[in-house]
Amino acid sequence: MNHVRVRTAVTPLRRRFPGVATPLPSVDELIAMERPEEPMHCLRPATVEAAARDFAEGFPGDPSKASRLERASIDPQTLSSQVVLTDVPAGQYAVSVFHDENLNEKLDKNFMGIPKEGYGASNNPGRKMRAPTFDEACFSHQADQSLEIKLIY
């Protein structure tokens, strides 16, 4: 049976990177957004920025940065698959998927690093000489919505 693995990358922080104008929120804004039940301890802004950068740079290849990993079977009639994610808070997300044809739970690549299995990302950024970046696949989620991700083989 063929499977598609879905990786959802989530960050409540507004990233500050070269070329991105949105700055990180202040501590007061972050507390107002998150409404924590436990006290929040302030980290050095450089630490928060480094963590956000590390998170974004880990997309899509580092599964340890994913908020959810899902597996779905491919319908042999329609050659499609569907994954429903519930309880997803509003925020900025990116989704990456790949067709795990040999069920080894990783995206196989050739000696040049080019995928040998189907892959895709939210916003369908298309074929490039590199993996899509978080910013290319990032979308804003506010309420129930549907995404169609086309796999590239």
Kindly list the distances between the CA atom of residue 146 and the CA atoms of 7, 51, 56, 153, in Å, as whole numbers in the listed order: 15, 29, 22, 23
Q: pLDDT-based confidence at 122, cuts 50/70/90?
A: very high
Write the pLDDT tens digit of every residue in 38-94. Answer: 555 555 556 556 666 666 777 887 877 777 888 888 888 888 888 888 888 888 888
Helices (H), the chain: 27-34, 45-57, 134-137
Segment 20-44 shows an average pLDDT of 61
- Average confidence score pLDDT of the chain: 76
User: Which of 3-17, 31-45, 46-60, 126-140 is least confident?
Assistant: 3-17
Among residues 49, 19, 13, which one has the least CA distance to residue 34?
13
